[in-house]
Amino acid sequence: MPPADARKRAAQTSPPRLDGRRERALAPGALVAGIDEAGRGPLAGPVVCAAVVFHGPVPRGLADSKTLAPERREALYETILARAHVAVASAGPDEIDRRNIRGATLAAMCRALLALPCPPDLALVDGRDVPPGLSCEGRAVIGGDGAVAAIAAASIVAKVTRDRMMTRLDAVHPAYGFARHMGYGTPEHLAALAAHGPCPAHRRSFAPVRAHLSEAERAARERARAGPAHAKEAGDEAGLPLLRAS
């Protein structure tokens, strides 16, 4: 057995086990949802938000989705669906361009929470923002995807869902390599943008995409910004699902 000081150092450096205790401590006896997103930074595709409420044992090995290998994310995703109520909402490129990425993300978070089959008493949201218009009390948790089990689970669900959506988009627009880089601004993606211009899955308000718009599209966007707003709630033009609940 290692000495006590070695065990203490290991405990200080190893990540905390996410087992639901933090949620129960924050709101004893309450039904708590975790909310997180995937896809704020990419140049293409939707931003996907997930809301998770556990009704069964919290799976071992939960962590921020970005720290997990794809195979581990997929395995945890299936376990989460079996042990939690889950809802997913997405905001497509049109909504992102219209609202801006922050506004579109917060709106999708509200839709995900509202789609849960069991209305929660409290929503814990990863990051600094509590979305306006949540259907229950909300609290922001900075670094929540590495500290709160329900948020970590939401991060996994959002990431796996979005990766699958981007793989389907890759089949629709194969010139861009979406299945490899998931829409992020990699050298491969930027080269494809320069060669082919944007496709319908691209976010026109993002500078690397905007730089490759045709003159006609630039002019049309300027006229749209100058004229009256004809906002419509976004679906996803590539036929991607907006909501999933379980």
DSSP-derived secondary structure letter, 57: P
pTM of the model: 0.85
Q: What is the pLDDT of residue 240?
A: 42
Quick: pLDDT tens for 16-68: 678 888 888 888 888 999 999 999 999 999 999 999 999 999 999 999 999 99
DSSP-derived secondary structure letter, 133: T
pLDDT along the chain (246 residues), means of 10: 48 63 83 97 98 94 93 97 97 97 98 96 96 95 95 98 98 98 98 97 97 86 67 38 46
Assign residue 177 a region (left: φ > 0; alpha: ψ between -120 and 50; beta: otherwise).
Answer: left
Q: What is the pLDDT of residue 4?
A: 53
Q: Which residues contact 35 (CB under 8 A, 6 or more apart)?
A: 49, 50, 51, 52, 109, 112, 113, 123, 124, 125, 126, 151, 154
Q: What is the pLDDT of residue 232?
A: 40
Q: What is the pLDDT of residue 94?
A: 97
Instruction: Give the angle subtended at the CA of 22 by the CAs of 17 and 27, to the nearest 5°.
Output: 160
Q: Cβ distance 30 to 122 under 8 Å?
A: yes
Residue 142 sits at φ, ψ, to 5 deg, of -65, 130
Name the amino acid, one letter, at 27. Answer: A
Distance CA 238, CA 169 (A): 7
Dihedral (Cα; 198, 181, 97, 124), 10-degree rounding: 170
Q: What is the pLDDT of residue 214?
A: 86
Q: What is the pLDDT of residue 218?
A: 82
Q: What is the pLDDT of residue 16?
A: 66
Distance CA 47, CA 104 (A): 8
Strands 47-54 and 122-126: unpaired
